[in-house]
Amino acid sequence: MKFLIFFLPSVTLAALASISQNDVKSGGGCKPMTVLFARGTTELGNMGSIAGPPFAIALGAMMGGAGNVAVQGIQYPADVPGFLVGGDKGGSQLMAQMVGQVRAQCPDTTLVMAGYS
């Protein structure tokens, strides 16, 4: 009998289960911290799996629990052509729009904008 074992360095099962986060779009309410995250090129979901979910999990732990952090992935193509021209214009516009929305809805939240490339 043969077994195949995969090791995914620095990616937890919790991170794999959360490649998309939509706390802001779903109206989850204001939290002490809000994270807007742009995933890396060719990654799945709106958070990716390499950096986004582990980053959000770590911030949640630092803030005393995931319930203290709203996380929103930025939905954009994250494709190679966009990367080659220096970034996706629509993704940049969406990030700016989400910043405005968070600032208007939750003026007291600590806003974190991050991404992986």
pLDDT of residue 11 exceeding 70, the answer is: no
Distances (CA, A) of 58 to 12, 15, 39, 43: 12, 11, 16, 20
Domain boundaries, the chain: 13-115
For residue 88, the model assigns a pLDDT of 84
Q: What is the pLDDT of residues 57-115, one digit of tens each?
A: 999 999 988 889 999 999 999 888 888 888 888 889 999 999 999 999 999 999 999 99
For residue 47, the model assigns a pLDDT of 95
The span from the CA of 26 to the CA of 78, in Å, is 22
Instruction: Write down the CATH superfamily of domain 13-115.
Output: Alpha/Beta hydrolase fold, catalytic domain (3.40.50.1820)
pTM of the model: 0.81
- In terms of Cα–Cα distance, which of 14, 18, 12 is closest to 72? 18
Beta bridge partners of 69: 33
User: Mean pLDDT over all residues of the chain?
Assistant: 85
The span from the CA of 88 to the CA of 92, in Å, is 6
The span from the CA of 67 to the CA of 78, in Å, is 28
pLDDT of residue 12 exceeding 80, the answer is: no
Helix (H, G, I), strand (E, B), or coil: what is residue 92? helix
The span from the CA of 7 to the CA of 112, in Å, is 30
For residue 45, the model assigns a pLDDT of 94
Which two three-digit tokens encode residue 107?
């003026």
